[in-house]
Amino acid sequence: MPLHPEIAKFLATLPPPPEGPLDPVAMRADEETHVPPVEERLPLHAVEDLTAHTTTGDVPVRVYTPTDAVRHGVLVYFHGGAFFLGSLDTHDHIARSLAKETGLKVVSVDFRRAPESAFPAGLDDCCAVTRWAAEQGEALGWDGTTLAVAGDSSGGTFAAAVAARAYDDGFDRITHQILYYPSLDLDFDEARYASLRENAVGYGLETAGLKPFNAFYVDSGADPADPLVSPVKREDLSGLPPALVVTAEFDPMRDEGELYGGRLAEAGVPATVSRYDGAGHGFVQHFSWIPEYHRVFTETRDFLTRS
């Protein structure tokens, strides 16, 4: 199907990208101007800003409690933004929708970002908060059942890497991994994936922008050959948690996500790959107000329920 008309209409209003090097400070400030005030956000039973005291240090988190139940399953969420953009506020609406639709308590992680913090600082924070959620289960109100990790775009990279590192370290509490249009191969070799060529221009995120956007992360010490940086390069995927991999038809990174989901299934991991037609990269963040894309949250709920 063609690009969704609402997405096409929005893309037509965007100015051309600025010339010259990317400015993280200015780009972050611009992102924050689009965050709605608290009173306009989806209401939940409770939303609290806390500090997770972890092995990597103190990590700010935002905890979303959907109901007044004493105990809930927990979903630890990592926001996207090419490892240098995004925040608790820019992705607050995703965390709220996840909490409401899944019924889980959502812990959104304010991990350290490039270029200020070198690899693997952000990944370490994500891993540490996931362990903290399990270790502090009584205080957090975890019911001891579901402990899922989820993320969009580069947050999906972190979710896959957290699940893999946890498995290697013998931490077996993670029950699910949920990857929304994840960035799983930071080589960006156009010959490897047809979607890098087919969706190169005209759909928001463009193939030519992948290297400069991810350069802050790579230049901070993240080696694209490292499976914790490019999870698709992990040789043995057996034993990892069940996965939901959501892709977008017009995303340059579509094929690496679908390849990863297929390889998980081949390794014996229960894996669901779900492509959203008419969508481009970032649709969960920017276009989940459209009913056919808001469905991603109920699909997530159904995946968590049956897996």
Active site residue 153: yes
Catalytic residue among 153, 154, 220, 230: 153
As a whole number of Å, the CA-based R_g of the chain is 18
Active site residue 49: no
Angle, vertex CA 298, rays to CA 228 and CA 101, nearest 5: 95
CA dist., res. 177 & res. 74, Å (int): 12
110 belongs to the catalytic site: no
In 3D space, the residue among 160, 153, 150 whose CA is nearest the CA of residue 227 turns out to be 160
Cα–Cα distance measured from residue 249 to residue 256, given in angstroms and rounded to the nearest whole number:
12
Which residues have a catalytic role annotated? 153, 251, 281
